[in-house]
Each structure stands twice: as C-alpha cells, then as structure tokens.
Structure 1
Amino acid sequence: GCVYLSWLIVPAVIISWLTRGAISYDSSDQTALYIRMLGDVRVRSQVGFEPERRSSHPYLCIDFRTLHSNSEPERRIQRLLSFQRYLHSSRLLRGIPQQIPLHILDEDYTGQARCMLEKVGHWNFDIFLFDKFTNGNSLINLTFHLLNQYGMVELFQLDMVKLWRFLVMVQEDYHSDNPYHNAVHAADVTQAMYCYMQEPMLAKSLTSFDILLGLLAAATHDLDHPGVNQPFLIKTDHYLATLYRNTSVLENHHWKSAVGLLRETGLFSHWPAEDSLNMERELGSLILATDISRQNDYLSRFRQHLDQESLCLSNGSHRHFILQMALKCADICNPCRPWELSKQWSEKVTEEFFQQGDVEKKHKLEVSPLCDREINSVGNIQIGFMTYVAEPLFAEWARFSDTRLSQTMLGHMRLNKASWGSLQQEQTLTSEEAETSNASTSREGAAAAPRGTSSKEIPQGSRES
C-alpha cells in the first residue's frame, strides 16, 4: 500500500517535458519500417502487411492537426513513432533533465484524487474532475490504481518502473489537441470497462489474464488517434490506409502502437515468449472489435448467443467475446452517462467531427457525413447516434447482464435523448422567432421609407402585389 501511494500521482513535470508522438503525416519510411517490425503478431481479421509506398497526395505533406492552430510553422513539432525516439534515448522515462526539479501536485489535489479513486466503480464517476485533480494525468493514475487494486502487479510480477513508464508513454501517445479522442477519453473508457468487469456475470467468470487484458485494451484502444476518421485517411491516400488495405485502419494502428510500447518498455519481457505473443494477439482482437463499421456483425452474433442462450463463460473464447462486447460498450457509453457528463462528451466528439469537416472544406475535399458544422448540430448527431448505434447495443447488453447498472445506463440514455430533443426544439423555435422578427423589421422599414425611395432599396418581401 505504501509503495502504491508513493506512485499514485505522477509529477506534472514528467508529462510536461514529453513532446513525442506517434502518427507522422509526412509518410516517413521509418514509420512504416517500425510497423513492419511488428508484423509477426497475428490476430483474427488482421489483413496482413505490405511495404509503405510514399504517397504523392498533396495534403499529406501537411500535419492537418496544425491547420486550426495559430502557432508559427517553425514551432510545430513533428510527431514520430515512439520506437524512433527510443533509438535515440535509453534514459528512464525518456530521460528527465537533471536540472529540472520534480514538482509534485498540490497536496489538496492529491488527496481529492485519491478520494475519487475510492469511488472509481461508480457510474457517475467524473473523469473530467479527476483529470483536473491529477493535473491532466488521469489515464496513468486511473489505470495504475485499477491494476494495483486487482493485484496484477504482484500476480504477474510486473516491474513497477516498467509499468509506470509504459503508462506514461501510453498517455503521451494520445493527442492532447484532439477534442475527443485523447487520453481523457481513454481513461473514461477504462473506468467504464472496470464497471462492466465488476458486474456479477463477469466478476465470477473472468480470469486474472482476462482482467489484465481488458484494462490494457481499454487504456490503449485509441492510441495515437489522429483526430480524423478512416474515410479521411482513405480519400487522402494516407500510407496507413494502404498499409492496412483500407480495413480497420485506425484500429490496426492503435493495436500496433500498443504492441510497440509493450515491447519498448519490456513490460512482459519476463514472460515466456508464447505468453507475451498471446497477450499481443488478444489485445489486437479486443481493439479491432471497436471498429464501428463492424458494429452490426458483433451485435448480430451477440443477439444470436442471447437468443439461443449459448453463452458459456467457462469457455475461454466466449469470455473473450464478452470482453469484446464490454469494450465496445465502454467505447461508446457516453450517451449512457449522467447528463452533465454526457453533454460534455457529445460536444467534444461533435467538435472533432466539425474540425475534420473544416479541413476537408479548406482543401476542397468532399465533406464527410456529420462533419459539416453548417448543416449539422450536436443534438441531431447525438439523437441519431443513440437511435441507430447505442440503443441497440445497450439493449442487448442489458439482456446479457440485467443489473442495476445496465438499467441505469438505459435510463440515462432515454433522458439524454429527450434532453437533446428538447434543445433541438428550443433552437428551432428561437430560429423561427428570429426570422419572424427580421421579417417584421423589414416590413416596418419599408412602410417608413420616403415616397421618393427607389424600389431597389425596399426589401423584395415588402412590395405590394
């Protein structure tokens, strides 16, 4: 316990000096080389690897994430894969400059963060507040706490320094400038995954390996997400789309990035080689399941199991499938959170959509669905998402695990959907009132116009027939 508390809150400076990243938008040959080095990992639905070809697409010489920034070009930092950084530095935690003191968080914040972790299994856990109390290090502290709470460190003989280094690198490989797909989202998904694994159906069935796998998959499931979707990478002819043959492009990259960090830190280097490779394969299987384009495939299989009552959680493959479904639920559980939290997530994910649309407009690309801020709103996007994606999934999850938590999630989703509907109606009424007011002002202006006023100066709608 004492050892754990001493590691609980990461010093702020440990993160602040880290400026590395993963995805590179200049089609670096070194990047493709690194990914191919991980090519011995195989998993179901993996489509294979091929050498990267340098794209001639004009948009890929620009890091589109900087297009929204006012920073000068010379101050922009190129994001490189972690393996390349590792080749240039073998210092612990990427090498902390000796002249910089390690300032820890204010004791009040540290105490409040620890207090919150005592309620980490509550569905109304406020990850935004926890991120504030940990000075932006929610993913590190939350994941470390959960692994320690489950006894994973002792059980799997994990080296404390390697584990901490791995978590620091994971958090840092999430892009903080993404409104939604960042480390706070990963922390939120990890907390939700923990809640699901505490449900009776899973708690009595999951093995220690399942638990370790589930937490690591949740923490890394969107690793190095670029803030744009797969269609964007495909239509800009990005090398990752070519590498993964336009199939689960982002999910494959998240998985390979996670494997890279596991190998770089040597977190499982003391395991037998086959066990370590098995962990990597299973990790890929979970992360690939989060591909939203395959939602119906997983949902149909889940529904069929429930209809036939054929799930047997003493069967390893069935437990793995349930972990896939749990991670899918955790990944899109925002509509099921209390309104105060759900609304924030809705606004963040929509802003990320709109930022992609802005880039597409700027470069004369076809604007992706839901990404045009001129014709979409947070409300209509969220109502559609709940109706066609979230509700069908969580209805089946409630059939599988009919507990207070599953009913709470469905209840929140109904209320949130109604709240967005009400906001939509209010916005429509406000818009109509504004149009009516403008029309009335125009008519009054026309009536007050001098007789000699040219008809060209009178609004068209005010002319007498």
Structure 2
Amino acid sequence: MEVCYQLPVLPLDRPVPKHVLSRRGAISFSSSSSLFGAPDPRQLSQRRGAISYDSSDQTALYIRMLGDVRVRSQVGFEPERRSSHPYLCIDFRTLHTRLGYGSMSASSSPERRVHRLLSFQRYLHSSRLLRGIPQQIPLHILDEDYTGQARCMLEKVGNWNFDIFLFDRLTNGNSLISLTLHLLNQYGLVELFQLDIVKLWRFLVMVQEDYHSDNPYHNAVHAADVTQAMYCYMREPLLAKSLTSCDIILGILAAATHDLDHPGVNQPFLIKTDHYLATLYRNTSVLENHHWKSAVGLLRETGLFSHLPAEDSLKMERELGSLILATDISRQNEYLSRFRRHLDQENLSLSNGSHRHFILQMALKCADICNPCRPWELSKQWSEKVTQEFFQQGDIEKKHKLEVSPVCDREMNTVGNIQMGFMTYVAEPLFAEWTRFSDTRLSQTMLGHMGLNKASWGSLQQEQPPVSVKAEPSSPGTDAEGGAAARRDGNTATGGTSSKELPQGSRES
C-alpha cells in the first residue's frame, strides 16, 4: 500500500487542534503507532481529503497535503479502470535498448493496452503497479525557510526576471502546482467559478505528474515558466482591462497544460516510427492534439468543471484546445500573417470575444517561445536544456539507423547556432508584431534581452571551433515552445514551415 502526499509541515510533538484534524486536506497519524496499521484501508479510500489516526494523541504528526491522496494496497485496490484502446507505444525511456523498430508498428498485445485518457506517464506508473514493481515516491518535506522564500517569490510573480528554476527548488519540484494555484487564487477564480478545492488540487497534481520529469526541457518546470510568462502578458494594460474571467482561467490552464504528457521526441519521430498518436491524429498537430486531449481527460476525470452547465463545460474544453493548438509552429505563418493584418488595418477590438481569444492565442505562442527574451542567466539554461533534448533524440535516431531530425545531430550543430537561427527566423518576427500590439516597457525589455542574448551566442560561437552544419540552423520544426525549442515538435513533417518560409511569412500582409 502506498500513500502519495507532498509537502508538509508542522513540527513533531505539537498539539493538533480538533478543528485542524477535521479539515479537508489533512492527514494525521500517531507518531507512536504503525504508519498504516490502524483503520481498514477500504474505509480510508472513501474519505474525502482527511485521514486521521488516533487524533487524541498529542504527539500526532500533522501533514498538509498539496495534492490528491491516493491509498492503494496490493489486496483489494486496483488502478482506476477506464475504457481502453491500443497504444502503439514506444517506451521512450528504454528505446535505446531496443534492437530494432519492427516491434513498434506491430499490434499491441493485451498487456500493452492502456486506458482512454490515460497518459503515457500514467501508463508506465500503472504498469509498474500491476507488475508488482514498487514505485519510489519520496516524502517531500520542506522547512519553513524554503516555503517562506517561495511565498516571497510569489509576491513578485509578475516580474519578467522571475527565476522559475529557483522557485522550483524552493517548492521541492512543485513549481507548476504552486504557481498555478497562486494565480487562480490571485484572480479570485476559485471562488468565482466555485471550484472544489479538493478537485482542483487533484487536477493540478495530476497535471504536474503527467509532465515527464526526465525530459530535459519539456517538463513541468517549462510549463510553469510558460504559465508565469502568460500571466505577465495578461497583465499588460490592453489585456488587463479587457479580459473576462473566462479568458483568464482559460489562459492560465492552457499555459499549464500546453505540453502535457510530452514524450521528449518530436512529431517526425512519432510519424516515422508509426506511433499510435501519429495515426490517431493523422500526422497533423500530433503533439498539440495529444496535449489538449490529455488536459481534457484530466478535467473530466477530476470533475473540475462538472458543476457547470454541460454546454459551458464543453465550450471551455473547446477553447482550451484552440489555445493549445495555436502553439503548433507549422501554423506560425498563418497566425503571424493574421496578426499582422489586424495590426495593419487597426481593426482589433478587444470587446469582441473572438478577437480576445485570438490575442490569447498569440500571447500563449509568445509565452511558449519567450526563452530568448529572458535575462541571459535564465535564457542560457533553457537553451542548453532544449538542445540536450534535441541531441538525445538524434542519438536514438542514429542508433537505430533512422534519418536524424534537423538540429538533433550533436556533431552538426551547437547550442549557439541553433539559438541564433531560432531567434532570427521565429522569435524576432513574432515579438516584433507583439510589440506593435502592446508597445510597453515589458515588450521593450523582451526585445532588449533577445538582442543581447543573440549577441552573446554570437560571441560564444566565435570562440568555439567551427561545426559542419548540413541542416539550416533556422529550420523551425517545433511546437513553439521555449528558446531553442522552436524546433522541438518538428511539425514540418506535415508540410509545415521551413526556415525559408518563415521570413517570407513575416513579410506577408
């Protein structure tokens, strides 16, 4: 049996008030007794949010819960069952040990079937449970110094130099949960939409869990970074006075889930290995569709919006998908040209719901690839992380005699040339138009940082030995996320943009 709980915190040997023990969201057990020895686990599974062991014991340990509490035992409990369909699944963590790719396109055996709306990350977790492999879940306890520093950082969450890496350390790897909940509370959205706090906790924990922590770039920290950037953009004067509460909650949730269950490889990789997702979405916006559907799955599983009228709930799911799908870089020219036409014709009206939604799409696209616009200390870290992920994919492709995807060959590319190409052909055209829309101090700051970062990469390039580059460094097969991430999802495989098309797109009207 295992209980998943995170973060913490009253010291031992402190009396626990009765009103605290009755709270939803608390677990208490006697420190003098066996951890899970008292009640019947079946009774615990029926409790909503609080589990108390011997609450009269004044030495009880009180644990604040940051996420959903799940009690599982080897006898009497089974993983949640959902309707199933086959996953022509590549285990990206063990792919490098495979002898070949022949088995990947074969039909799945019964034991390889997974449940609808079950992410690849959850599939691995449930598979380990069914095979009797113990799941290593550390007990996350932070002292008050760390949590206090995290709270201080959240007071400045609107600053563009917000250090998401430091915040993630201070929250013990829970930056996405902590940041998203803080923003929802700051806008009063929990109360306004009458969100059940237990369902909200569970949703946020599941979202964070479904990001692959072993991805160097596409992980929960990236999602938290994009969410913080999205908040900065929504605070810009033009948007702050125009966005509705629905716009704001959709913007925050879309940012938090925009890369949900990202496998750490790009779309061309999924296509050329006949992955189930590529077949399901017909080789079109494969990863973006998967991120959206994964988010919808968690919304429905937790019932976060189940109290809303069905029509409203479905509308929010559709608009969430529209925002996430906008991060498909293969449609970069389409969105950029439309944005430019609106700005040239000066016909954007933020009192119009469809126009506000379009601006939210553009804001999310900017947030997703804003890494070159961060201060050098942050931007450089993101650039190195995304390049590491590129090269890991390239190593797998070489090992299995597959064509190496653009910018994924570590022998032909460097962090610097990838970044400079990305900034020139993807980031600069987009942020130039965003500055036309919202010419504020933040926009000028972002352009200033990007110029300095580009110059810094240029200087580093001159200091490094020359590299023979076969693929153009500006080829942007990406899902539009972060710094060099502009090549990450590789949507060019669907007939999307190329490095030569982007400059042309930037001149279209």
Scaled to the shorter chain, the TM-score interval is: 0.7 to 0.9
2:207 to 156, 165, 170: 170
Report the Cα distance in structure 1 between the residues aligned to 2:184 and 2:322, rounded to whole angstroms: 21
Say if 1:181 and 1:225, in contact at 8 Å, map to a contact too.
yes
Alignment partner of 1:195: what SS? helix
Q: What is the match of residue 322 of structure 1?
A: 359
Offset from partner CA, 1:191-243 (integer Å, 9 cap, x none):
00000000001000000000000000000000000001111111111111111
CA 1:13–1:329: 2 relative to 1, 3 Å: closer
Match of 1:460 in 2: none
Shift of 1:282: 0.2
The alignment status of 1:198 with 2:244, answered yes or no, reads no
* 2:432 corresponding residue in structure 1: 395
Question: What pairs up with 1:254-333 in 2 under 5 angstroms?
Answer: 254-333=291-370
SS in 2 for 1:268: coil
Q: Aligned pairs, how many? A: 378
Matched, 1:422 2:450: no
| Equivalent position SS for 2:320 | helix
User: Residues 423-462 of structure 1: matches in 2 within 5 Å?
Assistant: 423-428=460-465
Matches within 5 A, 1:23-422: 62-67=90-95, 83=117, 104-422=141-459
Matched-pair contact (CA < 8 Å) for 1:220–1:258:
yes
How far apart in 1 are the matches of 2:360 and 2:303?
25
Q: CA deviation at 1:105?
A: 1.5
Tell me, in whole angstroms, the C-alpha distance in 2 between the residues paired with 1:428 and 1:353.
20
Match of 1:438 in 2: none
The answer to whether the 8 A contact 2:281-2:289 is kept is yes
The 1:322/1:34 distance shift into structure 2, 3 A limit, reads farther
* Contact preservation (8 Å) 1:174, 1:224: yes
| Structure 1: distance between partners of 2:315 and 2:183 | 22
Q: Which amino acid aligns with 1:358?
A: D
Structure 1: distance between partners of 2:69 and 2:261 = 16
Distance 1:101 1:288, change over 3 A: closer
CA contact (8 A) 1:13 1:103 kept: no
Change (3 A) 1:218 1:79: farther
- 2:96 touches 2:399 (CA, 8 Å); kept in 1? no
More helix by share: 1
Q: For the structure 1 residues 311 and 17, does the alpha-carbon distance in structure 2 shift closer, same or farther, using more than 3 Å as the test?
A: farther
Cα displacement (A) at 1:101:
11
Distance between the aligned counterparts of 2:116 and 2:71, measured in 1? 15
In the aligned structure 2, how far is the partner of 1:430 from the partner of 1:4? 58
Distance 1:359 1:223, change over 3 A: same
TM-score w.r.t. length of structure 1: 0.75
Distance 2:447 2:265 in 1: 29
Please give the alpha-carbon distance, in whole angstroms, between the structure 2 residues aligned to 1:66 and 1:170: 23
Deviation at 1:13, TM superposition (A): 9.3
Deviation of 1:67 after TM superposition, in Å, equals: 4.3
CA distance in 2, matches of 1:64, 1:198: 38
Distance, in Å, in 2 between the alignment partners of 1:79 and 1:181 is: 25
Q: CA deviation at 1:104?
A: 3.4
Distance (whole Å) between structure 2 residues aligned to residue 240 and residue 408 of structure 1: 39
Equivalent-residue separation in structure 2 for 1:167 and 1:389 (angstroms): 31
Secondary structure of the structure 1 residue equivalent to 2:283: coil
More RCO (CA 8 Å, sep 6+): 1
Residue pair 2:84, 2:113 contacting (<8 A) in 1 also: no
SS at 1:65's partner residue? Answer: coil
User: How many Å separate the matches in 1 of 2:412 and 2:71?
Assistant: 40
Residue 227 of structure 2 contacts residue 252 of structure 2 at CA under 8 Å; is this kept in 1?
A: yes
The corresponding residue for 1:459 is none
Residue range with higher mean Cα deviation, 234-243 or 185-194: 234-243
Per the alignment, in what secondary structure is the counterpart of residue 305 of structure 1?
helix
Alignment partners' CA distance in 1, 2:351 and 2:420: 38
Measured after TM superposition, the shift of residue 65 of structure 1 is: 2.5
Task: State the superposition RMSD in angstroms.
Answer: 3.3
User: What are the residue-to-residue correspondences of 1:4-23 with 2, within 5 Å?
Assistant: none
Q: C-alpha distance in 2, partners of 1:207/1:419? A: 40
How many angstroms does 1:360 deviate by? 0.5
1:13 and 1:102 in contact (8 A); partners too: no
Q: How far apart, CA to CA, are the structure 1 residues paired with 2:71 and 2:378? A: 30
Q: Kindly indicate whether the alpha-carbon contact (under 8 Å) linking 1:12 and 1:104 is maintained by their aligned counterparts in 2.
A: no
In structure 1, list runs of 5 or more residues that go unmatched.
19-29, 36-51, 70-77, 90-96, 432-465
Give the counterpart letter for 1:397 in structure 2: W
**C-alpha distance in 2 between matches for 1:264 and 1:12:** 18
Greater Cα shift, 300-309 or 101-110: 101-110
Could you tell me the TM-score, scaled by structure 2's length? 0.69
Q: 1:374 to 1:131 in 2, by over 3 A?
A: same
Distance 1:130 1:118 in 2: 12
Deviates more, 1:229-238 or 1:118-127: 229-238
Shift of 1:12: 8.0
1:452 aligned residue: none
CA distance in 1, matches of 2:67, 2:24: 20
CA distance in 1, matches of 2:195, 2:451: 42
Give 1 or 2 for the bigger CA radius of gyration: 1
Q: Given that residues 158 and 228 in structure 2 are in contact (C-alpha distance below 8 angstroms), is that contact kept between their aligned partners in structure 1?
A: yes
Distance across 1 between alignment mates of 2:71 and 2:397: 32
> Cα gap change, 1:254/1:207 in structure 2, threshold over 3 Å: closer, same or farther?
same
5+ residue gaps, structure 2, are 1-19, 27-48, 50-62, 73-80, 98-111, 127-133, 469-509
8 Å Cα contact 2:413/2:467 also seen in 1: no
Letter of the 2:155 counterpart: E
- Aligned-partner Cα distance in 2 for 1:124–1:16: 37
